[in-house]
Amino acid sequence: MGKRNQTLGEFIIENQEEFKYSSGELSRLINSIRLAAKVVNHEVNKAGLVDILGAAGETNIQGEDQQKLDVYANDIFIKTLTNREIVCGIASEEEDDFITIQGRNKKNDNKYVVLMDPLDGSSNIDVNVSVGTIFSVYRRVTPAGSPVTIEDFLQPGKNQVAAGYIVYGTSTMIVYSTGHGVNGFTLNPAIGTYYLSHPNMQFPVDGNIYSVNEGNYVHFPQGVKDYIKYCQKEEDNRPYTSRYIGSLVSDFHRNMIKGGIYIYPNTAKDPQGKLRLLYECNPMAYLAEHSGGSASNGFERILDIIPTELHQRVPFFCGSKNMVAKAEEFMRNA
């Protein structure tokens, strides 16, 4: 386990032998994400000073207006990962299709694909509220040297070899796991170095925070309505506190530290749910499970779901283990 004054670079080197396919590739991949995060962080922090705020005038594959910083973050992460020839393919929430990366020899012998949400919660930028980047890493299933195919990306979340997020907030943090605990690193902006600030992060088994957009209450499934009523009832250690930022990274980060549940259910308007399985739910579920929490679509484990399309959406219940179990109980009994 790392020491609090340890840098992210030192931590990666010290722990790379824990990774069963260790060839230094995964370490280089995390390093490149660290570099891209620094560049995006710099841009996010000066967003109020330059003409980079607001919508870019295009919509992404989801039909949502792209914020200018969404496009910028997407470009930076893709360029950083491509230029270093560390991955053989990238899928992004902002791109219609996956990107095949060819090496200089027109082949690509790299073993990993990255899926990402380059700027989660970007509508919060205009009001100076935390946003984040989410990333997920898989080992490819097609033969090395051949172009990646859709099956390299449509893997269940339990196949992830690493996942993490960057939160651009009052301080900027990278939180990630390669399957051996979850660790958080905070950027010292004066020298541009990330230091281990949150070793071995753990979800409290119980919590007293629930995070859900209650404005959609009337459209929620009955099980979610019943669970919210349970959270609000004066009994035992309840009522719970309602906290909802509207940025998955920020809500998840707070709940992991303090104990809580994040819920984004399906609604009448979004019968499949709103969050993306591959870019948001799988990486967060991976982090939750490796920090003692759990994640579900209300009925089954998120990491067991077999994806059928790149931009698939699912309902999402994620957080402290006992809170997720109680929410699932209400879903089953509704």
Neighbours of 200 (CB within 10 A): 13
Query: Do the annotations mark residue 120 as ligand-binding?
Result: yes
123 is in an annotated binding site: yes
Is 58 annotated to bind a ligand? Reply is no
Q: What phi, psi does 160 have (nearest 5°)? A: -60, 145
Q: Is 226 annotated as a binding residue?
A: no
Distance of CA 59 to the CA centre of its chain: 21
CA distance 259 to 242: 12
Taking a C-beta distance cutoff of 8 angstroms, is the pair 176, 286 a contact? Answer: no
Q: What is the DSSP string of 136-166?
A: EEEE-SSPTTSPP-HHHH---GGGEEEEEEE
- Dist. CA 104–CA 321, nearest whole Å: 46
Composition of the chain by helix, strand, coil, percent to 5: 35, 25, 40
Q: Is 96 annotated as a binding residue?
A: no
274 has binding-site annotation: yes
Is 235 part of any known ligand binding site?
A: no
320 annotated as ligand-binding: no
Render 190-247 in DSSP notation, one character per residue.
Answer: TTTEEEEEETT----SS-SEEE--GGGGGGS-HHHHHHHHHHHS-STTPSPEE---S-
Extended beta strands in the chain, E state? 55-59, 65-67, 87-92, 99-100, 112-120, 131-139, 160-168, 172-177, 183-188, 193-198, 209-211, 241-242, 260-264, 275-276, 294-296, 313-314, 316-319
Pairing of strands 260-264, 316-319: antiparallel
244 labelled ligand-binding: yes
What type of residue sits at position 314? Answer: V
Q: 225, 233 in Cβ contact below 8 A?
A: no
Residue among 110, 218, 114 nearest 160 (CA):
114
Binding residues for substrate: 120-123, 213, 244, 274
Binding residues: 93, 117, 119-123, 213, 244, 274, 280
Binding residues for Mg(2+): 93, 117, 119-120, 280
